[in-house]
Amino acid sequence: MTLDVEVPPPPELNQVDPNEYEDAEVVGETDYRRDELEAFLRDGAWETAFTDWADETDLDEREFDIVTDLEMLRQFDFFWDAFAERVGYHAPGIPEDWKERDYHPDLDSWGTVSGINASLTELGQQVCDVLLDEYIDWEGDYEAPDDLPDFE
């Protein structure tokens, strides 16, 4: 399925410590290179990734309207995880208590919520793939601390 919408502007990356996300898998790095990643997003990585994602997503225009109404695309975070030599990301999601909170008037089912959350996760991964494949050449920049234990 193809989502036929205009490419929205890329997110502005916040200076949040990724270790504070519930699903964090980042090991003690403090230079997340967000300024460089944000520049790559503005220079075309976001547009390329979004276009590729829109060509394949199961999200329809009604669901995408919910995403834009909630400004969810602006809530993406991307950061460099030097330890794992990868771009990490945090995708926004609709919370489990969406129904009780009357989160959005057009949210009508768990299927819609799950579809939106899954699609945004796929978009986040697509952005990471484009950044790594077409923009980043930082592999090998990580240097292990000198005080790591010797396991020999």
Residue 117 falls inside a structural domain? yes
Tens digits of residue pLDDT in 64-100: 999 999 999 999 999 988 878 889 899 999 999 999 9
Range of the domain at 54: 18-134
Number of domains in the chain: 1
* Residue 6 domain-assigned (yes or no): no
How large a percentage of the chain has pLDDT more than 90?
64
Q: Could you please report the per-residue DSSP string of 94-150?
A: --TTTTTTT--TT---HHHHHHHHHHHHHHHHHHHHHHHHHT---TT-----TTPPP
pLDDT for the residue 47: 98
> For residue 105, is pLDDT > 90?
yes
Residue 90 within a domain: yes
pLDDT reported for residue 66: 97
Q: Note whether residue 46 is domain-resident.
A: yes
Answer yes or no: is pLDDT of 28 > 70: no
- pTM equals 0.82
In a domain, residue 145? The reply is no
Look at residue 5 and tell me if it is in a domain: no
